[in-house]
Amino acid sequence: MKKLHLVIAAQLLLIMPIALLAQEPPYVLTAPFGYGRDATGGAGGSVTTVTTREQFATAVAASGNAIILVSGTLTFGEGQMVKSVVANKTVIGLPGAKLVSTAQVKDGGIWQLSENSNNVIIRNLIFEGPGAYDVDGNDLLFNRGTNVWVDHCEFYDGVDGNFDNSNGADNVTITWNKFGYNKPPKAGGSGGSDDHRFSNLVSGGDGTAPTDGRYSITFAYNWWGNGVRERMPRARNAQLHLLNNYVNSNVGSKAIGLSAGNNGTDVYVENCHFKAVNTVLDAGYGGSPKVTIVGSDRNNGNTNGGTSAPTYAYTAIPWGSVEAAVTGSCGAGATLQVNESTGAVSCGSPVQSSSSRPSSSSSSSSAV
Q: Which residues, other chains included, contact 62 with Cβ-Cβ below 8 Å and sequence gap of 6+? A: none
- Give the C-alpha separation, 280 to 233, whole Å: 11
Name every residue whose Cβ is closer than 8 Å to that of residue 213 and which is 6 or more positions away in sequence. Answer: 237, 263
The amino acid that residue 240 corresponds to is: L
What is this structure's pTM? 0.91
Contact between residue 128 and residue 163 where contact means Cβ atoms under 8 Å apart: no
> Tens digits of per-residue pLDDT, 41-86?
999 999 999 999 999 999 999 999 999 999 999 999 999 999 999 9
Structure confidence at residue 17 (pLDDT): 53
Q: Is residue 161 part of a domain?
A: yes
| CATH number, domain containing residue 44 | 2.160.20.10
Q: Which tens digits make up the pLDDT trace of 212-256?
A: 999 999 999 999 999 999 999 999 999 999 999 999 999 999 999
Q: What is the pLDDT of residue 368?
A: 67
Is the predicted pLDDT of residue 194 greater than 80, yes or no?
yes
Report the C-alpha gap between 70 and 45 in whole angstroms: 16
Could you tell me if residue 348 is inside a domain? Answer: no
Span 300-322, average pLDDT: 98
Segment 18-22 mean pLDDT: 78
Residue 288 domain-assigned (yes or no): yes
- Identify which has the larger pLDDT, 213 or 351: 213
Q: How far apart are CA 352 and CA 368, in angstroms?
A: 18
Q: Are strands 290-294 and 301-303 parallel, antiparallel or unpaired?
A: antiparallel
Question: Does 265 reside within a domain?
Answer: yes
Assign 8 a pLDDT band (cuts: 50, 70, 90).
Answer: very low
pLDDT, mean of residues 171-184: 98
Amino acid at residue number 154: E
Residue 361, domain member (yes or no): no
Contact 291, 258 (CB under 8 A): yes
Whole-number average pLDDT of the chain: 91
Mean pLDDT of 101-112: 91
According to the model, what pLDDT value does residue 140 have? 82
Q: Do 139 and 122 form a contact (C-beta atoms < 8 A)?
A: no
Give the C-alpha separation, 226 to 239, whole Å: 27
With CA atoms as reference, report the closest residue to 145 among 207, 91, 222. Answer: 91
Looking at the structure of the chain, the number of domains it has is 1
In a domain, 27, yes or no: yes
Domain-embedded: residue 62: yes
Rounded distance between C-alpha atoms, residue 169 and residue 191, angstroms: 23
Whether 2 is covered by a domain: the verdict is: no
Q: Is 2 helix (H, G, I), strand (E, B) or coil?
A: helix
89-93, 96-100, 142-146, 362-366: which has the minimum mean pLDDT?
A: 362-366
Nearest to 336 by CA among 350, 323, 326, 324: 350
Write the DSSP assignment of 149-216 as a string of letters.
EEES-EEE--SSEEEEE-TT-EEEEEES-EEE--SPPBP--TTS-S---B--EE-SSTT---TTSSEE
Give the per-residue pLDDT at 367: 54
H or E element, residue 77: none
State the number of CA atoms in the 13 A half-sphere of 155 facing the CB.
35
Residue 352, phi then psi, degrees to nearest 5: -75, 140
Range of the domain at 72: 18-342
Give per-residue pLDDT as tens, 257-285.
Answer: 999 999 999 999 999 999 999 999 999 99
Between 115 and 38, the higher pLDDT residue: 38
Residue 9 — very low, low, confident or very high, per pLDDT cuts 50/70/90?
very low
Torsion of CA 286, 290, 294, 298, to 10 degrees: 20
Q: Phi and psi at residue 138, in whole multiples of 5°?
A: -140, 155
